[in-house]
Amino acid sequence: MAAICHGPQILAAAGVLEGREITAYPAVRAEVERAGCSWVDGTVRDGNLVTGQAWPDHPEWLATFLDVLGTDIDHADPVAADD
């Protein structure tokens, strides 16, 4: 599961953050901490949960989530591969 920005508020409301380490948009830090999790600054992976704070985290957050999914990204140049 992946959540970014205010998304962890939904996880807090669902009661699934107890004992987790997460992050979220800084303005909702107190809310998610009240849901029983530990706050970490930056992109966080806790088991199968990946969280980020906001759009600047997108590259690391998405790469971490793709790792959780077991996805390999091949950055080979497709034009060069056809030569």
Cα(72)–Cα(51) distance, rounded to whole angstroms?
A: 20
DSSP single-letter state for residue 31? H
CB atoms under 10 Å from CB of 65, counted, come to 21
Q: Which of 5, 37, 58, 75 is catalytic?
A: 5
User: Is-catalytic flag, 58?
Assistant: no
Token digits for 31? 């809310």
Q: Which of 6, 37, 58, 75 is catalytic?
A: 6
**Annotated active-site positions, please?**
5-6
